[in-house]
Amino acid sequence: MDVTQDELERVAAELGAALQARSWRLAVAESCTGGWAAQAVTAIPGSSAWFDRGFVTYSNAAKREMLGVQADTLATHGAVSEATVREMAAGALMRSEADAAIAISGIAGPGGGTADKPVGTICFAWALTGQGVESVTRHFNGERSAIRAQSVREALQGLLDRLQ
């Protein structure tokens, strides 16, 4: 399924309005999307009122150092796991001025997939101040850019759904 930049920006603008209505700020922790969620958010005029920061933690070392993901979590579950994205989202919340955080980690391809975690496996987590962390795993089809675009949309829409 093709996701356009316009669609990502539409969802980002809706998310921004929902965050602003609460006087909340957002942080994002990204791996396979490489900052695309932060880019979609900052494409919105006025996003400085509700976007705090983004962490691009592509390597396991970055996940540990920047977000506090436990080495044991990575060793036991892998970078592409709900356990890892839950710690990424919690870490983004803790290490920012944000009230809400999104985390994304997955296998965008074309290589890197396994029988257990095929290409297109993407894990998401959403952390809200005082409300804990929720996570989910999705499976997307398409080439690398399509998987990444679908992942950004899922992450932004997922937080919007939780705020509405």
- Domain annotation for the chain: domains and CATH numbers: 5-163 (3.90.950.20)
Burial class (CB in 10 A: 0-12, 13-18, 19+), 116: exposed
What phi and psi values does residue 51 have, to the nearest 5 degrees? -110, 125
Residue 30, pLDDT above cutoff 70: yes
| Tokens of residue 97, six digits | 């001025």
How much of the chain, in percent, has pLDDT values that exceed 90? 98
When the pLDDT of each residue in the chain is averaged and rounded to a whole number, the result is 97
Q: What is the pLDDT of residue 5?
A: 94
User: Considering only CA atoms, which of 41, 72, 44 is closest in space to residue 54?
Assistant: 41
**Once rounded to an integer, what is the mean pLDDT over residues 119-147?**
97
User: pLDDT at position 34, please?
Assistant: 98
CB neighbours of 93 closer than 8 A, spacing ≥ 6?
27, 99, 100, 101, 127, 129
Q: For residue 104, name the pLDDT band (cuts at 50, 70, 90).
A: very high
> How confident is the model over 89-93, as a mean pLDDT?
98
